Chains A and B, each alone.
Chain A
Amino acid sequence: MSLLTIKKITAGYGLQDVLFNVSMEVDHGEVVAIIGPNGAGKTTLLRAIVGMIRPKTGDITFKDHPIVGMEPEHVVRMGLGWVPQEENIFPSMTVAENLEMGAYLVEGDLKDRFAEVSAIFPALRERMRQPAGSLSGGQRQMLAVARGLMLRPDLLLLDEPTAGLAPNLVQIMLGRIKEVSDRLKRAVLLVTQTIDALKLCQRGYLLSAGEIKYSDSTENLLGNREVRDLYFGGSPPSS
């Protein structure tokens, strides 16, 4: 069985549906991309998975347990980490306190976890006592991902972690995400709009107007002219 299975969910806000019959799967240790234009419903899909909104129809199972209707605090407890695109830190708390909050459900010593995330994000190490609100944009994103990793989740949902970052920081962030997968063996569901991020993933889903339009390996998605032209501005699939 897959780690995460989504079957035909329809979800939205109030009377406005955003997702229509969306189905997808993520396996253990896999890095999967969700790509698509703005307003396609990518963020809504992550919010539905983590329990922030309740799908009207369909099922979501995580580690073989149905999670539709569960409160986010209980979904997280099962080993699912979520890093939203915006407002993804606690600005008035220190970097160390932000990381502690990431491991809120963990009892006992957090030293190993601090060491683990500090090894991946060394820039945070010397800023532990600094208020998170005073960090730069790139440092904030790194803290957000590090906070998500503190729980040692089986699946980490990352919502456009490179959005708004300078090109050099995008490469650094993507390198860190690769480390999360390679070194920590965490499964990652990555919402992205960049080719470089898509290349990190084994496969991807193309979400358009709330529906899954393509589901394929990264190689095939990058080789698909329509995908390239419509969603990546016709950029060639350079290696």
Chain B
Amino acid sequence: MADLLVSGIIYGSIIALGAIGLTLISSILNFFNFAYGDLFTLGAFVTLLFLGLFGNSGTIAGLSFGWGLVLATLLSVVIMVVVVLLMDRLFFKPLRDIGVTPLFMSLASLGLAFILRAIINIFWGPEVRYYSPAIQISRRLPLGIRVKPDELFVVICALVLVALVYMFLKRTKMGKAMRAFSDNSVLAKASGVETNKVIMWTWVIAGALITVAGTLYGIQVQLRPIMGWHFLIPLFVAVIMGAVGSFWGAMIGGMVIGISEEMITGLIQNTFNSMQIEADMSVYKPAVAFVLVVAILLLKPHGIFGKREP
């Protein structure tokens, strides 16, 4: 049970990281970006590309990777930020300029998702890849909890990034402008907020977050070209569950999805195992996310952190 909770927190922290970026895009650019899952994959693979150039350079304090992966991730973030800014310039800005509806923006992003996935398949092929072939041994903690150093790293890294983004949004002038724009874009413009700057910063933050999320996910599992597409479901559910535009909603929504998926499928798996029924419940994880989002939409249509205007 405790093991499942820990797995859920690890998975949830990665979802939360991606969901914060997605909620910013959804509320500021006013569309659901279906290409975000494939940006997650691309970020992870670009990190792999740089890792191939530098090598892992040993390992850091019990982790399965070395400074090479850290450096590769930083460079990947830079490249991916450029990619998302170009993507906006070439695809989304022309659509915004002609005033297309959010539905068409979302459909355009779906097309972009297919393009990105095709690019990933062309460059890296369909086979699975790893950042490190090293096998880690879990450390035993009280209450029967077992954690690998990599898993601890993933959670700490995600939490640090969440805190940094929160500080940016809460304390800096541009962060406040982004929150204002997300709240009421017309009034933000009438307050002197420059739309182009807000959109640029939204892409920078979302691009950086999804790249790190993809890389952290890659540390945990093997890299597959389809992984981001599958990751998109929990991301969307986290954003909708937490209320579109809510920072803490995305964070908590991500955690709830991660923990629910791991615990519910894990508990059913354990039950089946004890009854000697052969089944792989891990493939049903997205079903948990769907059930949760339907329940939330029925019970609290504006999301957990959503408020109805009085």
Chain A interface (Cβ < 8 Å from any Cβ of B): 50, 52, 71-73, 76-77, 82, 84, 87-93, 97, 100-102, 104-105, 133, 137, 147, 151
A-B contact count (CB 8 A): 72
| Residue of B183, B191, B193, B307 with highest tally of chain A CB at under 10 A | B191
A87 to B307, CA, bound (A): 14
Residues of B near A105 (CB, < 8 A) are 191-192
- Does B230 sit within 8 A of A, measured CB to CB? no
A133 to B183, CA, bound (A): 10
Query: Would you give the shortest CB distance from A121 to chain B, in whole angstroms?
Result: 18
Contact mask for chain B residues 171-209; partner A; CB cutoff 8 A; 1 contact, 0 none? 001001101101110111111111100000000000000
A151 to B192, CA, bound (A): 10
A91 to B179, CA, bound (A): 10
A133 to B179, CA, bound (A): 14
Question: Across the interface, do B190 and A52 meet the contact criterion of CB distance under 8 Å?
Answer: yes
Question: Across the interface, do A101 and B176 meet the contact criterion of CB distance under 8 Å?
Answer: yes
Question: Across the interface, do A76 and B191 meet the contact criterion of CB distance under 8 Å?
Answer: yes
Q: A73-B194, A93-B176 are in contact. Are A101 and B188 (CB under 8 A)?
A: yes
A151 to B183, CA, bound (A): 20
Q: Given A89-B187, A97-B180, A100-B176, list of 18 further CB < 8 A pairs?
A: A73-B189, A82-B190, A84-B186, A87-B184, A87-B187, A90-B188, A91-B309, A92-B182, A92-B183, A93-B179, A93-B180, A97-B179, A101-B188, A102-B191, A104-B191, A104-B193, A133-B307, A151-B192
Residues of B near A84 (CB, < 8 A) are 186-187, 190
Write 18 A-B pairs (CB below 8 A) sorted by A numbering: A71-B189, A72-B189, A73-B194, A76-B191, A84-B190, A88-B187, A90-B184, A90-B188, A92-B183, A93-B180, A97-B179, A97-B180, A100-B176, A104-B173, A104-B180, A104-B193, A133-B309, A151-B192
Question: Across the interface, do B307 and A101 meet the contact criterion of CB distance under 8 Å?
Answer: no
Query: Would you give the shortest CB distance from B36 to chain A, in whole angstroms?
Result: 23
Question: Across the interface, do A104 and B186 meet the contact criterion of CB distance under 8 Å?
Answer: no
Query: Would you give the shortest CB distance from A139 to chain B, in whole angstroms?
Result: 12
Chain B interface (Cβ < 8 Å from any Cβ of A): 173, 176-177, 179-180, 182-184, 186-195, 245-246, 307, 309-310
Query: Would you give the shortest CB distance from B24 to chain A, in whole angstroms?
Result: 13
B193 partner, pick from A73, A82, A88, A91, beta carbons under 8 A: A73
A77 partner, pick from B176, B184, B188, B192, beta carbons under 8 A: B192
Question: Across the interface, do B307 and A91 meet the contact criterion of CB distance under 8 Å?
Answer: yes
A82 to B192, CA, bound (A): 11
A92 to B190, CA, bound (A): 18
Question: Across the interface, do B179 and A90 meet the contact criterion of CB distance under 8 Å?
Answer: yes
A133 to B310, CA, bound (A): 8
Question: Across the interface, do A50 and B187 meet the contact criterion of CB distance under 8 Å?
Answer: no
Closest 4 CB pairs of A and B: A105-B192, A90-B183, A72-B189, A76-B192
Task: Find the B residue at minimum CB distance from A82.
Answer: B190
A90 to B309, CA, bound (A): 12
A93 partner, pick from B183, B194, B246, beta carbons under 8 A: B183
A90 partner, pick from B180, B189, B194, B310, beta carbons under 8 A: B180
Task: Find the A residue at minimum CB distance from B247.
Answer: A92
Question: Across the interface, do B179 and A92 meet the contact criterion of CB distance under 8 Å?
Answer: yes
Query: Would you give the shortest CB distance from B191 to chain A, in whole angstroms?
Result: 5
Task: Find the A residue at minimum CB distance from B197.
Answer: A73
A104 partner, pick from B177, B307, B309, B310, beta carbons under 8 A: B177
Residues of B near A100 (CB, < 8 A) are 176
